[in-house]
Amino acid sequence: MGNDQKRGFIFRSFSTFLILLFLWALVIGFYVTQPKIKEPANEDSANKYFTIGMIVTYENRNKQGNIWNFTEEDKELGLFMNNSWQTVYMLNVTYPITVFKDSDGNPTAFMDFPKPGIGLKENLTYEVYYWVVLKPRALPQIFENRSDGFEDIPEDLKTMFCQPLSLWQSDNPLIRDLAFSIAGNETRVLSVLSDFVLWINQNIKYESLDVPRYPNETLSERKGDCDDQANLLIELCRAVGIPAYLQIGCIYQPGENSTSNYWNGSWTSALTNIGWHGWAVVYVPPWGWLPVDLTYSSGNSSDPLSHITSSAIITNPTVQYANITVTDYILDSRLQKTLVISEEHHILTHDTMIEEVQNKAESHEIIGIPVQLTFFFSFFIYVACIIMPVFLRRSKHKLIYFKSECL
């Protein structure tokens, strides 16, 4: 075989090698972007492990043929949070994301949808999956006679968590009059908080709507669900100078399956082993921030302190999703409902929560890598397959000639 023939043979072989390398990259790229298992250090056997999945489908049913132009709210994605008793990893998400912190300080992301909107009868679906590690939680022992007074609450916390907002109108005369009437002459913070909890239990019935109520609505209607009652408690606390805000999360509810329609049938929500929940967080010296759960405590409901010590966040597998400290999420919910109904959009959500096998979870930890890396990695190899032969030709086959001489 002549040198030219040898060079041609080696060049074709090298091109074939690059093509095989590209295929190999697809396989390896898929492999490295899957959740990986690694042995952790000092794993606590009391931890609990869960996978949370969310599937969302947007459907355009507008009979006038209007385009559904996606808003930032449509693209927004909550990322849960990490703290001393929970660690959450994002395993996978359908579209690339840009991560930021919202006005409440929560980790949030915007998804990069493949198109800015969808036409009539078109739809768009995205999925996101999280791996959750829940650690055991405990509260200090609390007693009313050991509670500090209002003067022991730091002034900076009062400034930050007692100011009137559109969500919590703590300067509302009706709310202030009620709050000070219930508190009376009591100076211990925990005692005042207990009186607020007891009053709500005795005067507010549980009832859920497809959008949350403002505290004054809960008060006037004398009914509300978990976050409605929590927001009323928060507003009462803020009115007398006790710092408070709202937390939202999900509770593991094995065996529970439900499908509900909201917003005049424009939103269909399916839940599997999961329930969304809201509760108050209140600053009580000397113990600091304490959860107060008005609707999901496992203790004696007539005992106000049981709404702290037996709150869902303490006694049930509960994953904290977000803090609400300044955002008027009630207004946002109502605006979104109005828009979806008026534009004849349809939203389908399916949330799931699965507890992982104990013996598997106790000895491993999941590390997730965004699946988008697969495309970047494969694209790099693909470009190499195109550019390298051209480069080699322009280099007068120096590399190939060297290889041919070695055969």
Is residue 286 one of the residues assigned to a domain?
yes
Confidence at 63, pLDDT banded by 50, 70, 90: very high
How far apart CA 352 and CA 350 sit, in angstroms, is 7
Digit-coded pLDDT (tens) for 263-281: 999 999 999 999 999 999 9
Indicate whether 241 and 149 sit together in one domain.
Answer: yes
Indicate whether 183 and 239 sit together in one domain.
Answer: yes
CB atoms within 10 A of CB 295: 23
Indicate whether 288 and 175 sit together in one domain.
Answer: yes
357: region left, alpha or beta (phi > 0 left; psi from -120 to 50 alpha): beta
Confidence at 358, pLDDT banded by 50, 70, 90: low
Would you say how long the chain is, in residues? 407
CB atoms within 10 A of CB 392: 17
Digit-coded pLDDT (tens) for 145-200: 999 999 999 999 999 999 999 999 999 999 999 999 999 999 999 999 999 999 99
Asked whether 279 and 296 are in contact (CB, 8 A), the reply is yes
Indicate whether 327 and 376 sit together in one domain.
Answer: no
Sign of CA dihedral 324, 327, 333, 334: positive
Q: How many domains does the chain have?
A: 2
Indicate whether 28 and 148 sit together in one domain.
Answer: no
CB-based contacts of 169, cutoff 8 Å, min separation 6: 175, 214, 215, 216, 235
Is residue 356 one of the residues assigned to a domain?
no
Is residue 222 one of the residues assigned to a domain?
yes
Is residue 75 one of the residues assigned to a domain?
no
Is the confidence at residue 367, as pLDDT, over 70? no
Is residue 16 one of the residues assigned to a domain?
yes
Indicate whether 284 and 401 sit together in one domain.
Answer: no
Q: Which amino acid is at 269?
A: S
Indicate whether 228 and 302 sit together in one domain.
Answer: yes
pLDDT of 247? 98
For residue 18, the enclosing domain spans: 3-33+372-405
For residue 328, give both structure tokens.
Answer: 């008027």
How far apart CA 143 and CA 319 sit, in angstroms, is 27
CATH (domain of 179): 3.10.620.30
Q: Which residue has the higher pLDDT, 155 or 378?
A: 155
pLDDT of 75? 97
82-86, 112-116, 321-325, range with the lowest pLDDT: 82-86
Is residue 208 one of the residues assigned to a domain?
yes
Is residue 124 one of the residues assigned to a domain?
no
Is the confidence at residue 287, as pLDDT, over 60? yes
Helix (H) or strand (E) holding 100: strand 97-101
CB-based contacts of 121, cutoff 8 Å, min separation 6: 59, 60, 61
Digit-coded pLDDT (tens) for 222-277: 999 999 999 999 999 999 999 999 999 999 999 999 999 999 999 999 999 999 99
Indicate whether 394 and 317 sit together in one domain.
Answer: no
Indicate whether 283 and 149 sit together in one domain.
Answer: yes
Strand-pair category, 345-355 with 318-324 = unpaired
Is residue 110 one of the residues assigned to a domain?
no
Indicate whether 160 and 227 sit together in one domain.
Answer: yes
Indicate whether 29 and 150 sit together in one domain.
Answer: no
Indicate whether 327 and 378 sit together in one domain.
Answer: no
